[in-house]
């Protein structure tokens, strides 16, 4: 993400007030960088889903402007706009009387793609989300598990190769174990595809796990904080954010804080028996702490392609947590 690059999505003073005077979103300014996952998180009724739906004009804003790749979306035909934006919801929205493969082919066919091209694209995406077309293409949605239906929903949203993906509580209706697997699958897909994603959730755990940036919404559609997961957890902007992210935010910070070789100690005086194993430098502090506790050792070796860079100690963990916030505030 290049901070100097024009954002893929820009909201300028965007608001939504209903005829009865209810303010759903108030004067919102928000930039979504290209290729980033931005998670909108907050309690029920805070305007996060309304914000998402204003981007593809399922809900029309009452004030402000919304730009998609530099173009004002209010000047785009709404139907055409939606066909160019992937949209995934909690209820999935698959056509129940249509088999899985035709479900995924829907948008490319609406855009005029020949059946052969749409079928090839849909088949590739089903493979990509872990549902081989030979096994799942001829099934109906009610023959799939909840997690499988969500994967089909993601594949269908990606079928037209949209630059932007809007996701509204997409994994909220499945059990916790399946939800974690879907999150992992989604992160893997994002590494391969590099889409610009706006992702609505009410779960701060999900937001900090998935988001490159997290937008915390408060009542009345107020944007309380917009920052990296580490900054939201380590330096809440106000009392509302601090309360929302919870007392365990320190533990959550470790899961989103990378290991920094600058804060590792040397191997001097430390034997292999002292180490609680080794861990790759690409891991998080949370991974390292889990290893320390599992092995009941106060240190863990940090490696880069099998070469030991140094040793992570509790003092190093503390220094990295402080630096993760100080670098951004």
How far apart, in whole angstroms, are the C-alpha atoms of residue 239 and residue 257? 23
305: Cβ–Cβ under 8 A, 6 or more apart, which residues?
Answer: none
Contact present, 20 and 66 (Cβ < 8 Å): no
Identify the architecture of domain 257-326 in CATH: Roll (3.10)
- What was the pLDDT predicted at 224? 94
**Cα–Cα distance measured from residue 296 to residue 316, given in angstroms and rounded to the nearest whole number:** 17
pLDDT at 329: 47
128-180 per-position pLDDT tens digit: 888 888 999 999 988 988 888 888 888 888 888 889 999 998 887 677 887 88
Q: Which pTM value belongs to this model? A: 0.80
pLDDT at 59: 93
**Closest to 154 (Cα-Cα) out of 195, 120, 116, 114:** 195
The domain ranges of the chain are 9-254, 257-326
Residue 174 confidence (pLDDT) = 73
Backbone angles phi, psi at 23, to 5 degrees: -95, 110
Q: What is the 3-state secondary structure (H, E, C) of 17-41?
A: ECCCCCEEEEEEEEEECCCCEEEEE
- Domain 9-254 in this protein, CATH class: alpha beta
| pLDDT at site 3 | 56
Residues of the chain with confidence (pLDDT) below 50:
329
**CB distance 8 to 164 below 8 Å:** yes
- The 10s digit of each residue's pLDDT in 74-104 is 888 898 888 888 888 876 678 888 899 999 9
């Amino acid at each position: 993400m290049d901070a100097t690059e024009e954002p893929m999505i820009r909201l300028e003073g965007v608001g939504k007030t209903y005829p009865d005077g209810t303010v759903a979103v108030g004067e919102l300014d928000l930039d979504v960088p290209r290729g980033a996952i931005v998670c909108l998180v907050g309690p029920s009724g805070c305007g996060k889903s309304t914000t998402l739906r204003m981007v593809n004009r399922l809900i029309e804003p009452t004030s402000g402007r919304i730009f998609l790749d530099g173009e004002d979306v209010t000047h785009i035909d709404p139907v055409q706009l939606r066909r160019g934006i992937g949209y995934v919801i909690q209820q999935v929205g698959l056509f129940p009387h249509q088999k899985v493969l035709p479900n995924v082919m829907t948008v490319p066919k609406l855009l005029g793609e020949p059946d052969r091209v749409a079928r090839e694209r849909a088949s590739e995406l089903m493979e990509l989300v872990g549902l081989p077309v030979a096994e799942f293409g001829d099934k109906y949605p009610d023959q799939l598990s909840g997690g499988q239906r969500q994967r089909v929903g993601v594949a269908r949203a990606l079928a037209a190769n949209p630059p932007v993906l809007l996701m509204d509580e997409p994994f909220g209706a499945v059990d916790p174990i399946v939800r974690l697997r879907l999150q992992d699958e989604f992160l893997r897909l994002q590494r391969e595809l590099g889409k610009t994603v706006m992702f609505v959730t009410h779960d701060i755990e999900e937001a900090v796990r998935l988001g490159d940036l997290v937008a915390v919404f408060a009542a009345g559609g107020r944007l309380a904080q917009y920052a990296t997961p580490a900054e939201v957890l380590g330096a809440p902007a106000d009392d509302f954010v601090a309360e929302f992210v919870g007392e365990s935010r320190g533990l959550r910070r470790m899961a989103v804080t990378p290991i920094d070789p600058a804060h590792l100690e040397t191997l001097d005086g430390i034997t292999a028996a002292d180490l609680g194993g080794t861990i790759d430098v690409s891991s998080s502090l949370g991974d390292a702490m889990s290893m320390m506790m599992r092995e009941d050792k106060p240190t863990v070796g940090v490696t880069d392609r099998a070469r030991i860079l140094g040793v992570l100690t509790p003092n190093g963990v503390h220094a990295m947590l402080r630096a993760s916030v100080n670098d951004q505030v």
